[in-house]
Chains A and B, each alone.
Chain A
Amino acid sequence: MKITKKVLSVVWLVLILAFIYIPILLLAVYSFTDATVVGGSIDGFSFQNYITLFENEEMRSMIGGTILLALGSALIAAVLGTLGAIGTFYSKRTVKNLINYANQIPVVNADVVTGFSICVLLIVLLGISKDTFVPLVAGHVVLCAPFVYLSVIPRLKQMDNNLYEAALDLGATPAQALFKVVLPQLLPGILSGFMLAVTLSLDDYFITTYTKPSTFDTISTYVVNATKGGQTEIKTALWALSTIIFLIVVVAVVLMNVLSGKKKAAEERV
């Protein structure tokens, strides 16, 4: 009985892992061939897809644009969300509740609705041109900032309240107390909020598609357009992109695990 249970458990885990990874890994294998469909005949191995990916001007600029947009909007979101969290934390109950509720709206709302509503307000009603990138960045900050806010609030709850008061008593200005005492304490929360903001922005399709300038593409919008178009060369180059991103994610996760493991080991030694 116990052994069958164990075997069944392992079988289930393996099955689900296969479901998750077979598409990604098969795509990775085929990205190194000259085949044009997965499952099609392979005449030989080649790096052509990777060469296309780096030589194609359009693809290079859309990858760069995606990263720049993600970092930029995550940075704005980090500043706004952190300041918002600090201010709200020390505000009166009514203000606190109002901001908490408003902050929750983009979190639970569907991205389609968020994107569409920002498009209607900024582009249709106020007539701001999409080419200014204002609607696009505003949309991405709306998507990200609430998560920064939510990851900073718990750090504020943990923080010793007297630290700020002590700094003021010792002659620091509020600004000094904020930058030298409060912010360092919140840093882990701000960082994890920032990372989450980056990943959310990188993954976004809907807000981007409703607010972006017509000449600008992120990975998401580019891939969706490419699947509608018939260019085989671009389609297979995207397999290469998928493989590279997969490898980056794997390396990042492994690094994070090793680092946190080391930190834990160091703490145990002390």
Chain B
Amino acid sequence: MRMDITDFYDTFFEEAEELLADMERHLLELDVDEPDTEQLNAIFRAAHSIKGGAGTFGFDILQKTTHLFENLLDHTRKGELTLRRDIVDTFLETKDMLSDQLDAYRNGDEPDQEAFERICRTLQQIALEEIGQDLDGGAAAPPKPAAAPKEPEPESREADGEAGEGDQLVVALLNVGEKDRQLLVEELAQLGDVVAQGGDESRYEVTLASSVSGDDIEAVMCFIIDADQIQIRSVGNDQAAQTEELAEAVKSADAPQPKPADEPAKTAAGKAAVDQKAASASAAAKPKTKPKAKSGGESTSIRVSVDKVDQIINLVGELIITQSMLDQTVSEMDVGSDGALLNGMSLLQRNARDLQEAVMSIRMIPMDFVFSRFPRVVRETAGKLGKEIELVTEGESTELDKSLTERIIDPLTHLVRNSLDHGIEPPDVREAAGKPRTGKLILSAKHQGGNIIIEVIDDGAGLNRDRLLSKARENGLPVSDAMSDDEVWQLIFAPGFSTAKEVTDVSGRGVGMDVVKRNIQGMGGHVQIMSRPGEGTTIRIVLPLTLAILDGMSIKVGSEMFILPLSAVLESLQPAKADLYAMAGDDVVLKVRDEYLPVVAVHDALDVPDAKTELTETIAVIVQGEGRRYALLVDDLVGQQQVVVKNLETNYRKVPGVSAATILGDGSVALILDITGLHRLSRAKKERRRPERGSHSLEVLSDKALSDNALETSS
């Protein structure tokens, strides 16, 4: 059996991505003046591990880039390279480049050669300028400045040859099952010649003649088994150093048996081997610290594909539906005093709900996933704009559905950039206004009911009402001075709207804010803005926690059942004749308190037969969609229930006025209404009807309405 190495690609990509994220976090936290050795080591290790994997999978460019980077980092952690802010910036740039390369490989492309050469030059330049060294030392071996320089020429070449080809490593696999072991041995055979192998499941040793360093081998095998299942030592190595390193786990019985044949090579190769040892000292630090962290972390989390999770969620959804079906059947049965059955049913209901909640929580990931990328954004944007900004994040542990966290990143980045650019003033201006020079940007997340609230708060100048209004007039938007602050603030979401005096490369082109709003609405959320002149602006995003289940209100029109998203429902009432007004032909508005709301008759928009057409007999549900309110006319309110959202597009297509479907307790399908879509639909219908007026009851109404200005109904 031969397993294709490409099967491990995905694992590598995922791990590399995490390593890069770690790297970035450490780089950002790094104190330039007094770098923490642990952090430098962590950054180095990340680069090193990626290099190892890249080498194995033949990702040349990635390997070369990480190699240069790693060498530079090596000098840094040894204190030979003094860090500066611009060097850290270069490191961050390199990290971005690595991400790009990784993406390219993941998509089966070759990375951008030009960018690769540029970053290599930059790294080389730093090395030359700062430490006067070329980085292109050995391509595979770690730099060895002290590598046997005193040895006579011929011998040293021989030593190199020995170290390159003749060096033997004993790789011990601990507690590895037979299937994995076969794979690993095959994997090892790719890296060098397998000289000997043997042992049992608890400890299986493979002696390998290879030029690959021990930690590279470890890096490769870590994609299949865990780091603490591998022990690597080179044969003919200094025993003392070895026992120190490995003794904790390995009994001396297993100590290497130096073969006589190795002796001659030992003196020559020993030096190189020791050198390698020094390199793996970094790896030694890893096995020492990692097992502790890992043994804790391993049992608490596993990596599972989203597909599997979604499958479970779907199945649980089915279970819930089956349970409600059963419930309905039982309630219709004459069970009378059959307490056991009723008890069982209520227990089943509770368990099913608990199960559903537990399963849904699998998809939830903390907002830290989103927030953790903002230190970088803020640092760079602030640098470009010459502003001093402190970023505070709150509520990082607040959880949100994974699909939503991924989709919120772009809009949120845009809002943050916007706040930095337009919100927070330059340091001098702030000082003049009596505020601290350093601006403050707060990113916060919290749960409220079934929603998550994400806020971007700045302590900048706030929005300028007059400027927004005058700009809106310039753009030809319908505005008046009487508009409420809230309405004025919403203007910034109008397409092509920008109040920036000059366009910077950060923001101000007027594209974007409307996209932000659309994206958030696409996720079933909305945006609110609060602003006070001189004190700052708060932009609040309200999102549902998940798109997979929905709190719905079931309504009946004719004999058909529909679901309205409960979050959109404000109130419901029986419309009184006096509150209904006909407008401009066949439009009808409903007066609710001081507001006139457009009336959307569901039966009309969706052609439902046998629905109530007498307006005063229907029920008006006041709903909100995309910031506007409508009065939906329905026949009956049935009740509230949580429904599992099912996509209509999977097997069919998008239906106007309908956002999705769900399955009711009786097993039938009900459509979930899309409020704004419904309104559009009903308008389009009226539009189409206009040329051939006269057939519909509303037509009659409006004629009558003209005479007495109050709405009479007829059917």
A, B co-complexed: no
Residues of A within 8 A of B (CB): none
